[in-house]
Structure 1
Amino acid sequence: MIPSLISLLMLLAAAAQDIKSREISDFTWAIGCLLGLIVNLDNYGWSYLPKALFFLAFLSAIWITKLMGEADILAYASLLVTQPSTAGYIPPAMATFIYSNLLLMAAPIYNFIKNLKNMKMLDEFDEPYFRKILALFLAKPAYKKDLERIKYYDIAEVIVNGRKKLDISRSLSGIKKGETPDREPVWIIPTYPLMPFILAGHIITILLGDPIALIFGMKISY
């Protein structure tokens, strides 16, 4: 109960910071991990260590390839400290990773629905219809005042042989602060505050337990 409470409070503080400024203080993780170490001294069993190291190696690969922001990786890594458990096939931190990313899959759908009113703005791009549809899922038009709030994004508009194109592949280029465009509105590929999804994913972890066990028709709570 106490490890879950520490984890939830840590993620709640991080989510509030992420929504407000898209920046998260390292003290959030430091305090959470310190409290986690204090209350979990007897819970770091040898059977937990291989699972934790496997997930830590997985997070390291994500960090090296820059597929996720540093704060997001620190959130999952901190959960390895604040909520260790030998129950289940995977540690609670990895379960949270799975649930939060499943929730994150709803973001492009939400973006598509919001973009339906912007379809005519794509007429100026020399792109086949299917790429314009894809852009509705991954990109959106934004003004400079919006970019100050979004902070992390990439500009999707490019000029190729004098023609205006959309480079949707930039959605795979990693997390970075976007450049300031010289025009507006401009189509961008935004990144979303991931902390609220991680918080929601951890709540689901507490409620449903190990997602791998659920696949086999079992419920293993942490």
Structure 2
Amino acid sequence: MISEIVAVLCLGYGSYKDIRTREIPDFPWLLMGVAGVALRFSDHEWKALIMSAGVAVVLGIILAISGLFGGADVKALAALSLLIPQYPGNVFPLFILSVFNNLAVLRIIEILAVFTYNTIKRNRYKGDIPVYKKILLYMTGFPLSKERLDYRFLPLQDSHGEVHLLPDIDMDIGKFKEECTFKEIWVTYGSPLIVYLLVACIIALIWGDILLQAIIIFVN
């Protein structure tokens, strides 16, 4: 119970800071990591901790290199892997895998919502790019006036109008607005991943791995 409370409180604080400022201090992740190691002295689940941390490091490196995770997201994932290496009731022996699968489901729901929004609004990209790229653009972004662009959004076009499906999460929005000559650009909502991680963690604690459960239901 202690680990669950610490996880929800720390991820909740991180989510609040992520939404308000997009800048998260390191202390919630340090608290989670230290608490996780301390708790292992009572349950002696050192093997599970090492395996969980190893998986988190691999996932974090891959997601960071691909530009899908920022530094705080990787730290939060690693800290959670130390705090709750495994959890009763989960099919996967490592809790972090269930959280990651739930996170993936949440992102898929977001993609479907964005695509539906563009379909209803009949948003169309007027530039000359391959069809597959347009489809991916409609699934991840939407047009927005440059004047409305702020820290909540990440441009999917550079200042010259070229489309980039993987946004620069460290982009200086103020500088981009000064350099961009277009009145409207395609952007993606800079979804605060710590919030998604919090929700995915809560789902895993209560219901387990919803992706795996959905696959099992489909197969049966």
TM-score range, shorter chain: 0.7 to 0.9
User: Which residue of the partner structure matches residue 61 of structure 2?
Assistant: 60
For the residue of structure 2 that corresponds to 1:196, the secondary structure is helix
Alpha-carbon separation, structure 1, partners of 2:19 and 2:134: 29
In structure 2, relative to structure 1, the CA distance for the partners of 1:118 and 1:131 (3 Å cut) is farther
User: Which residue of the partner structure matches residue 43 of structure 2?
Assistant: 43
User: Which residue of the partner structure matches residue 151 of structure 2?
Assistant: 149
State which drifts further: 94-103 or 23-32.
23-32
**How many residues were matched structurally?**
208
1:76 Cα deviation from its structure 2 partner: 0.9
In structure 2, relative to structure 1, the CA distance for the partners of 1:38 and 1:94 (3 Å cut) is same
In structure 2, relative to structure 1, the CA distance for the partners of 1:128 and 1:119 (3 Å cut) is farther
Q: Deviations over 1:175-194 (max 9, x none)?
A: 33253222322122443211
User: Which residue of the partner structure matches residue 187 of structure 2?
Assistant: 188
In structure 2, relative to structure 1, the CA distance for the partners of 1:60 and 1:210 (3 Å cut) is same
User: Which residue of the partner structure matches residue 118 of structure 2?
Assistant: 115
1:74 Cα deviation from its structure 2 partner: 1.2
Q: What residue ranges of structure 1 are gaps of 5+ in the alignment?
A: 160-165, 218-222
1:39 Cα deviation from its structure 2 partner: 3.7
1:50 Cα deviation from its structure 2 partner: 2.8
Alpha-carbon separation, structure 2, partners of 1:173 and 1:134: 13
Percentage of identical aligned residues = 23
Give the aligned residue type for 2:169: I
State which drifts further: 105-114 or 150-159.
150-159
Q: Deviations over 1:154-198 (max 9, x none)?
A: 316866xxxxxx63xx22366332532223221224432112211
User: Which residue of the partner structure matches residue 208 of structure 2?
Assistant: 209
State which drifts further: 107-116 or 73-82.
107-116
Q: Deviations over 1:27-48 (max 9, x none)?
A: 2212332333334432352431
State which drifts further: 70-79 or 28-37.
28-37
Alpha-carbon separation, structure 2, partners of 1:153 and 1:28: 29
In structure 2, relative to structure 1, the CA distance for the partners of 1:9 and 1:145 (3 Å cut) is farther
User: Which residue of the partner structure matches residue 141 of structure 2?
Assistant: 139
Q: Deviations over 1:35-70 (max 9, x none)?
A: 333344323524312343233223223323433211
Alpha-carbon separation, structure 1, partners of 2:64 and 2:148: 27
User: Which residue of the partner structure matches residue 21 of structure 1?
Assistant: 21
RMSD over aligned Cα atoms: 3.1
- Say whether the 8 Å CA contact 2:53–2:82 is kept in structure 1: no
TM-score w.r.t. the length of structure 2 is 0.77
- Say whether the 8 Å CA contact 1:155–1:188 is kept in structure 2: yes
Give the aligned residue type for 1:79: L
Give the aligned residue type for 2:86: S
For the residue of structure 2 that corresponds to 1:84, the secondary structure is coil
- Say whether the 8 Å CA contact 1:72–1:194 is kept in structure 2: yes
Q: Deviations over 1:55-91 (max 9, x none)?
A: 3223223323433211111111010122133755342
